[in-house]
Amino acid sequence: MIMADKDTRVRKILVVDDDPPVLKLIQAMLVPAGYNVVTTENAAEALKMICLAPFDCLLTDAMMPGMSGYDLVRAIRKHPLYSDLPVIMLTRKRNPADVKKAVESGVTDYLIKPIDETLLLDKLSLCLKKGEGRRHVFEVQVTGSEANARMQLDCRVMSVSECDVTLKSPVELPVDTAFTLSCKLFDDIGIGIPLMKIIKNDRQADSSGDPKKFWYKVRLAFVGLPEQELMKIRAWAHKKR
């Protein structure tokens, strides 16, 4: 049995193919390797699933009834929140024109059927490494005269605007508490370490259906951010659209 790297054991992979035996085959390859695999036979349904819950990588067939794999990838690349989702396209087509079409649609990698297990796991591991920039480690410092709490959170950024940031967090954060947050995201935007306030926590059920597994959708508002830095956030958010 081929095992995934240690840091990929909990990665969530969405697989789309209109051929059920192919879905079962890929699931049989990925689940023993430590991946959380979700499958669907419909590209339009896959797009809805991506918008409802975060995935670490998408494996999609090229040709499917209705929305094709090419159409699905193009739709994802136009979405402001999921445009950088790693995508591997699965197809039986080998000619250069088809490969070019896949690349132009925005795929991260390309895999020819029949699927080789070793090659699939290698390509998936590489795609996941490319997608690591979507995760951010936040240094959280509670503010105030008696504040001494400090922690690190491995969160996924769900949205950013000039008003607030929404995170997928593994823990609930105390509402109405002020924090300073330090992470690479704000370096990318070009602003200093901002003061933020927790506005809301929404507990979300895990897609596995296990009632013991859940996460929090946390909304944080910027506090007293200068207009110059607000302009930088607006410009950054506009580029992501």
- 32-44 confidence digits (pLDDT tens): 999 999 999 999 9
Q: Tell me the C-alpha distance between 76 and 156, whole Å.
A: 17
Q: What is the pLDDT of residue 232?
A: 87
Q: What is the pLDDT of residue 6?
A: 37
pLDDT at residue 230 greater than cutoff 80: yes
Helices 117-130 and 20-30: crossing angle in degrees, nearest 10, is 70
Q: What is the pLDDT of residue 158?
A: 76
In sequence order, what DSSP letters do the residues of 42-91 get, joined into one string?
A: -HHHHHHHHHHS--SEEEEES--SSS-HHHHHHHHHHSTTTTT--EEEEE
Q: What is the pLDDT of residue 52?
A: 76
Tell me the CATH architecture of domain 143-240. Answer: Beta Barrel (2.40)
Q: What is the pLDDT of residue 77?
A: 85
- 61-79 confidence digits (pLDDT tens): 999 999 999 999 999 888 7
Alpha carbon 52 to chain centroid distance?
11
Q: Which CATH number fits domain 6-132: 3.40.50.720, 3.90.1150.10, 3.40.50.2300, 3.90.199.10?
A: 3.40.50.2300
Domain boundaries along the sequence of the chain: 6-132, 143-240
- 136-160 confidence digits (pLDDT tens): 444 555 444 444 455 556 667 777 8
Which residue did the predictor score with more confidence, 151 or 201?
201
In contact, 138 and 21? CB cutoff 8 Å: no
Which residue did the predictor score with more confidence, 118 or 127?
118
Q: Do domains 6-132 and 143-240 have the same CATH topology?
A: no
Q: What is the pTM of this model?
A: 0.57
Which residue did the predictor score with more confidence, 2 or 60?
60
